[in-house]
Amino acid sequence: MSTEIRLDHHRELRIGIPEAILCEGKTDEHLCEILEEADRLGAALLLTRLPRERLAALPDRLRAKLDHEPVSRTAFFGQPRAIETRAKVAIVSAGTSDARVFREVARTLRFHGRACREFHDVGLAGLWRVMERVEEIGSHPIVIVVAGMDAALPTVVGGLVKSALIAVPTSNGYGVAAGGESALRATLASCSAGITVVNIDNGFGAACAAIRILSAIDSATKSEVS
Amino acid sequence: MSTEIRLDHHRELRIGIPEAILCEGKTDEHLCEILEEADRLGAALLLTRLPRERLAALPDRLRAKLDHEPVSRTAFFGQPRAIETRAKVAIVSAGTSDARVFREVARTLRFHGRACREFHDVGLAGLWRVMERVEEIGSHPIVIVVAGMDAALPTVVGGLVKSALIAVPTSNGYGVAAGGESALRATLASCSAGITVVNIDNGFGAACAAIRILSAIDSATKSEVS
Amino acid sequence: MSTEIRLDHHRELRIGIPEAILCEGKTDEHLCEILEEADRLGAALLLTRLPRERLAALPDRLRAKLDHEPVSRTAFFGQPRAIETRAKVAIVSAGTSDARVFREVARTLRFHGRACREFHDVGLAGLWRVMERVEEIGSHPIVIVVAGMDAALPTVVGGLVKSALIAVPTSNGYGVAAGGESALRATLASCSAGITVVNIDNGFGAACAAIRILSAIDSATKSEVS
Amino acid sequence: MSTEIRLDHHRELRIGIPEAILCEGKTDEHLCEILEEADRLGAALLLTRLPRERLAALPDRLRAKLDHEPVSRTAFFGQPRAIETRAKVAIVSAGTSDARVFREVARTLRFHGRACREFHDVGLAGLWRVMERVEEIGSHPIVIVVAGMDAALPTVVGGLVKSALIAVPTSNGYGVAAGGESALRATLASCSAGITVVNIDNGFGAACAAIRILSAIDSATKSEVS
Amino acid sequence: MSTEIRLDHHRELRIGIPEAILCEGKTDEHLCEILEEADRLGAALLLTRLPRERLAALPDRLRAKLDHEPVSRTAFFGQPRAIETRAKVAIVSAGTSDARVFREVARTLRFHGRACREFHDVGLAGLWRVMERVEEIGSHPIVIVVAGMDAALPTVVGGLVKSALIAVPTSNGYGVAAGGESALRATLASCSAGITVVNIDNGFGAACAAIRILSAIDSATKSEVS
Amino acid sequence: MSTEIRLDHHRELRIGIPEAILCEGKTDEHLCEILEEADRLGAALLLTRLPRERLAALPDRLRAKLDHEPVSRTAFFGQPRAIETRAKVAIVSAGTSDARVFREVARTLRFHGRACREFHDVGLAGLWRVMERVEEIGSHPIVIVVAGMDAALPTVVGGLVKSALIAVPTSNGYGVAAGGESALRATLASCSAGITVVNIDNGFGAACAAIRILSAIDSATKSEVS
Amino acid sequence: MSTEIRLDHHRELRIGIPEAILCEGKTDEHLCEILEEADRLGAALLLTRLPRERLAALPDRLRAKLDHEPVSRTAFFGQPRAIETRAKVAIVSAGTSDARVFREVARTLRFHGRACREFHDVGLAGLWRVMERVEEIGSHPIVIVVAGMDAALPTVVGGLVKSALIAVPTSNGYGVAAGGESALRATLASCSAGITVVNIDNGFGAACAAIRILSAIDSATKSEVS
Amino acid sequence: MSTEIRLDHHRELRIGIPEAILCEGKTDEHLCEILEEADRLGAALLLTRLPRERLAALPDRLRAKLDHEPVSRTAFFGQPRAIETRAKVAIVSAGTSDARVFREVARTLRFHGRACREFHDVGLAGLWRVMERVEEIGSHPIVIVVAGMDAALPTVVGGLVKSALIAVPTSNGYGVAAGGESALRATLASCSAGITVVNIDNGFGAACAAIRILSAIDSATKSEVS
Tens-digit pLDDT profile for residues A55-85: 999 999 999 999 999 999 999 999 999 999 9
For residue G219, the chain F residues in CB contact (below 8 A) are 141
CA of residue C69 relative to chain centroid, distance: 13
For residue H174, the chain G residues in CB contact (below 8 A) are none
Residue E141: Cβ within 10 Å count: 22
| Lowest mean pLDDT, pick from A166-170, B125-129, E138-142 | B125-129
Contact in structure between F68 and F96 (CB atoms under 8 Å): no
- Testing the interface with B: which of H8, H29, H37, H98 to mutate, by most B Cβ within 10 A? H8
**Rounded Cα gap, residues G164 and E164, in angstroms:** 45
What's the gap in Å between the CA of H148 and the closest CA on chain F?
11
* Average pLDDT, integer, range B73-90: 96
**Rounded Cα gap, residues E42 and G96, in angstroms:** 61
Q: What are the backbone dihedrals phi and psi of residue F96, each rounded to the nearest 5 degrees, phi first?
A: -70, -15
Instruction: For residue B13, name the pLDDT band (cuts at 50, 70, 90).
Output: confident
Q: For A79-118, how does the pLDDT look when each residue is reduced to its tens digit (9 = 90+)?
A: 999 999 999 999 999 988 999 999 999 999 999 999 999 9
Instruction: For residue C74, name the pLDDT band (cuts at 50, 70, 90).
Output: very high
Compute the mean pLDDT over every residue in chain C, rounded to the nearest whole number.
93
Confidence check: pLDDT of C221 > 90: no
Q: Does G2 touch chain E (CB under 8 A)?
A: no
Contact in structure between A111 and A83 (CB atoms under 8 Å): no
User: How confident is the prediction along chain H (226 residues), in pLDDT tens digits per residue?
Assistant: 346 788 887 888 898 999 899 999 999 999 999 999 999 999 999 999 999 999 999 999 999 999 999 999 999 999 999 999 999 999 999 988 999 999 999 999 999 999 999 999 898 988 888 999 999 999 999 999 999 999 999 999 999 999 999 999 999 999 999 999 999 999 999 999 999 999 999 999 999 999 999 999 999 888 765 5
Asked whether A and F share 3 or more beta-carbon pairs under 8 angstroms, the answer is no
Note the helical H segments in C17-174. Answer: 28-41, 60-63, 99-111, 127-131, 134-138, 153-158
For residue A22, the chain G residue with the least C-alpha distance is G97
| Lowest mean pLDDT, pick from A140-149, E45-54, G215-224 | G215-224
Contact in structure between G148 and G180 (CB atoms under 8 Å): yes
What's the gap in Å between the CA of H8 and the closest CA on chain F?
35
User: What is the Cβ-side half-sphere exposure of residue C153, based on CA atoms within 13 angstroms?
Assistant: 39
Q: For F25-58, how does the pLDDT look when each residue is reduced to its tens digit (9 = 90+)?
A: 999 999 999 999 999 999 999 999 999 999 999 9
For residue G3, the chain E residues in CB contact (below 8 A) are 118, 120
**Rounded Cα gap, residues H46 and H35, in angstroms:** 10
Contact D15 E188 (CB under 8 A): no
Q: For G49-64, how does the pLDDT look when each residue is reduced to its tens digit (9 = 90+)?
A: 999 999 999 999 999 9
Residues 33-72 of chain C whose Cβ lies under 8 A from any Cβ of chain A: 34, 49
What's the gap in Å between the CA of F176 and the closest CA on chain D?
7
For residue H168, the chain B residue with the least C-alpha distance is B175
For residue H10, the chain B residues in CB contact (below 8 A) are 126, 128
B43, with CB counted inside 10 A (0-12, 13-18, 19+), is: middle
Confidence check: pLDDT of B1 > 50: no
**G contact chains, 3+ CB pairs < 8 A:** A, E, F, H
For residue F24, the chain H residues in CB contact (below 8 A) are 97, 172-174
Asked whether D and F share 3 or more beta-carbon pairs under 8 angstroms, the answer is yes
For residue A158, the chain B residue with the least C-alpha distance is B125
Q: Does A25 touch chain C (CB under 8 A)?
A: no
For residue G174, the chain A residues in CB contact (below 8 A) are 24, 49, 199-202
Compute the mean pLDDT over every residue in chain D, rounded to the nearest whole number.
94
For residue H100, the chain F residues in CB contact (below 8 A) are 25
**Rounded Cα gap, residues G49 and G46, in angstroms:** 10
Q: For D155-210, how does the pLDDT look when each residue is reduced to its tens digit (9 = 90+)?
A: 999 999 999 999 999 999 999 999 999 999 999 999 999 999 999 999 999 999 99
For residue E25, the chain D residues in CB contact (below 8 A) are none
Q: Does F85 touch chain H (CB under 8 A)?
A: no
**Rounded Cα gap, residues G45 and G39, in angstroms:** 9
Instruction: For residue E110, name the pLDDT band (cuts at 50, 70, 90).
Output: very high
pLDDT value of residue E182: 97
Nearest CB among A5, A30, A201 relative to G174 is that of A201
Instruction: For residue E101, name the pLDDT band (cuts at 50, 70, 90).
Output: very high
pLDDT value of residue E221: 87
pLDDT value of residue C1: 39
SS (H, E, C) chain D: CHHHCCCCCCHHHHHCCCCCEECCCCCHHHHHHHHHHHHHHCCCEEEECCCHHHHHHCCHHHHCCEEEECCCCEEEECCCCCCCCCCCEEEEECCHHHHHHHHHHHHHHHHCCCCEEEECCCCHHHHHHHHCCHHHHHCCCEEEEEECCCCCHHHHHHCCCCCEEEEEECCCCCHHHCCCHHHHHHHHCCCCCCEEECCCCCHHHHHHHHHHHHHHHHHHHHHHHC
Residue contacts between D and F (CB atoms, under 8 Å): 60
Confidence check: pLDDT of F1 > 60: no
For residue D7, the chain F residue with the least C-alpha distance is F121
Q: In terms of pLDDT, which residue wins out, F95 or D48?
A: D48
For residue C201, the chain A residue with the least C-alpha distance is A175
pLDDT value of residue G4: 79
Q: Does H28 touch chain B (CB under 8 A)?
A: no
Q: For F59-76, how does the pLDDT look when each residue is reduced to its tens digit (9 = 90+)?
A: 999 999 999 999 999 999
Question: Global pTM?
Answer: 0.96
For residue F130, the chain E residue with the least C-alpha distance is E156
Concatenated DSSP letters for chain H?
A: -GGG----TTHHHHHSS---EE-TT--HHHHHHHHHHHHHHT--EEEES--GGGGGGS-HHHHTTEEEETTTTEEEESPPPPPPSS--EEEEES-GGGHHHHHHHHHHHHHTT--EEEE-S--GGGHHHHHTTHHHHHTSSEEEEEE-TT--HHHHHHTT--SEEEEEE---SSGGGTTSHHHHHHHHT-SSTTEEE-STT-HHHHHHHHHHHHHHHHHHHHHHH-
What's the gap in Å between the CA of D147 and the closest CA on chain E?
16
pLDDT value of residue H194: 97
Contact H184 B176 (CB under 8 A): yes
Contact A123 B191 (CB under 8 A): yes
Instruction: For residue G1, name the pLDDT band (cuts at 50, 70, 90).
Output: very low
* Average pLDDT, integer, range D66-82: 96
Residues 117-156 of chain B whose Cβ lies under 8 A from any Cβ of chain H: 118, 120-122, 125-126, 128-129, 148
> What is the interface pTM, i.e. ipTM, of the complex?
0.95
Residues 6 or more apart in contact with residue G218 via CB below 8 angstroms: none
Confidence check: pLDDT of F3 > 90: no
- Residues shown for chain H: 226
Contact in structure between B121 and B95 (CB atoms under 8 Å): yes
Q: Does A6 touch chain G (CB under 8 A)?
A: yes
**Rounded Cα gap, residues A74 and A46, in angstroms:** 7
**E contact chains, 3+ CB pairs < 8 A:** C, D, F, G
Contact in structure between B3 and D120 (CB atoms under 8 Å): yes
With CA atoms as reference, report the closest residue to E108 among E199, E7, E210.
E210
Q: Does G208 touch chain H (CB under 8 A)?
A: no
pLDDT value of residue A1: 39
Nearest CB among D27, D34, D180 relative to F71 is that of D27
